[in-house]
Amino acid sequence: MGGTKIVVYGLSTEGYAIASQMAIKGADVYIIDESTPSAISLKAEIAKTYPNVSSLKEDEPLLAMEPIEVAISKAQYLFFTPRIRKTGQDIKTEIHSKFKDATASLKKKSSVVFTLPTGFGGNNENISLLEHVTGLEVGKDISYFYYPLEGIEQQPKIIGSFNGKKDSVLSDLLTTGKKEKNFVAISSSEHFHAINVLSRFSSLCSVLEVCKYAQDEITKNDLSSDDFQEIFLDDMVGGLLDLKSLGSSFEGANTLMYLINGSVKGIDGYIKRLIDEIRATLKKNDLKASRTKIALSWTLDQHSMRGDKIEMLQNLTSRLRDYIGDVEAYEDPNFDLFHSDKTTIVVACSKSDFTNIEKTKQDSDLIIVKANPLCETIQ
């Protein structure tokens, strides 16, 4: 493994985490920030000094660089980990365009590891594109793997490979702890990922839909003592891109589409209910919209591969502005709430944001709405 040449295409949170892990294991790692023309050399000591992309970008240490094409042409493994910011139908276009840029300079005997969610059959499209761009045949001249990263805390247990064959070097690079990665056929890995995504959203939407019916205070109080009250909007939205990419791989109505569409509708229904709850809070407190400020507190990772949380924050902000003019989104946990002559309603969109607001609330007359399944209000 020492000296294995790795290129990670995309200076995303997930890409940097995986690049650091491999650099610390002794691989020769280069990471490509799409906004610059060079590939940056990531040595083990740098990976240990800078735990994430933000700290690396803030400090801007002097690092060895080489032209992107040169780095990619020497790569034994190319990890595709770009940040995707488009939504809807444009996502695929953006991914394919970046994938072409990333793979154009690859040489024979190299391997590509695709880490974004694809839905069913999406890897076949990627493989065709890879063969078209490089002129190399997958399975013979070049290798292709599917490893959909869901977050930095939890990496997939399995790796999809073109013919289900194990790659020992890749397994060593990606293994943390004692448990080795399992290799399965690519179509099987798409199915495993689909089961994970759907299980999570089906379970989440069951909680959201049932909580809708908790109207009286006794039920609300009993339910609010349960663990699922620790679920915030931040947790709900993570992986929405995966769910939608799964949905776009089907035509027509079938049970799986009902599950996918039901989950998407469940999240949308929750957003509507959160907005209704905020409006009801105004009414209950006799607050005029013109004298009220809404502060959406959601500390977001701007370097994440998926843009689903950023998109949701924009969506929530614009929908709230239909009712109340003064709506601000705060992505810094230390924002100042107290310099306003208006009554402020703070919407806590994640557990860490809620904890920070609770600390600063003290004797102020802030109203806090927790963006959790019961949309609890604290005054």
**Tens of pLDDT, residues 233-268:** 999 998 888 998 888 877 777 888 889 999 999 999
Residue 370 vs residue 37, higher pLDDT? 370
- Regarding whether 258 and 134 lie in a shared domain, the answer is no
Does 9 lie in the same domain as 53? yes
Q: Which residue has the higher pLDDT, 1 or 210?
A: 210
Identify whether residues 60 and 149 lie together within a single domain: yes
| Residues 301 and 173 occupy one common structural domain | no
Last residue of a domain, one of 143, 166, 184: 184
What is the pTM for the complete model shown?
A: 0.91
Q: Domain span at residue 76?
A: 5-184
Q: How confident is the model at residue 315 (pLDDT cuts 50, 70, 90)?
A: very high
CA 338 to chain centre: 32
CB 373 within 8 A of CB 208: yes
- Is residue 278 within 8 A of residue 344, CB to CB? The reply is no
Q: Is the same domain home to 250 and 154?
A: no
Residue finishing a domain among 143, 167, 184? 184
**Could you give the number of structural domains in the chain?**
2
Q: Does residue 176 form part of some domain?
A: yes
Whether residue 112 is found in the same domain as residue 148:
yes
Helices (H) and strands (E) in the chain, counts: 14, 14
- Condensed to tens digits (0 to 9), the pLDDT of residues 114-151 reads 999 998 899 999 999 999 999 999 999 999 999 999 76
Measured between alpha carbons, how far is 373 from 78 in angstroms, rounded to an integer? 40
Residue 163 lies in a domain: yes
Q: What is the DSSP letter of 41?
A: E
Specify the pLDDT at position 363.
59
CA 319 to chain CA centroid, Å, is 22
In a domain, 200, yes or no: no
- The secondary structure of 1-37 as a DSSP string is -TT-EEEEES--HHHHHHHHHHHHTT-EEEEE-TTSS
Residues 162 and 244 in one domain: no
247 with 137, same domain: the answer is no
Together in a domain, 245 and 110: no
On whether both 68 and 119 belong to a single domain, the answer is yes
Residues 166 and 229 in one domain: no
Can you give 45-71 as a three-state secondary structure string?
HHHHHCCCHHHHHHHCCCCCEEEHHHH
Residue 202 lies inside a defined structural domain of this protein: no
CA dist 127 → 6, 11, 113, 139, 318 (Å): 20, 23, 11, 10, 39
Do 164 and 245 lie in one domain? The reply is: no
Q: How far apart are CA 25 and CA 21, in angstroms?
A: 6
CATH number for the domain harbouring residue 366: 3.40.50.720
Residue 206 lies in a domain: no
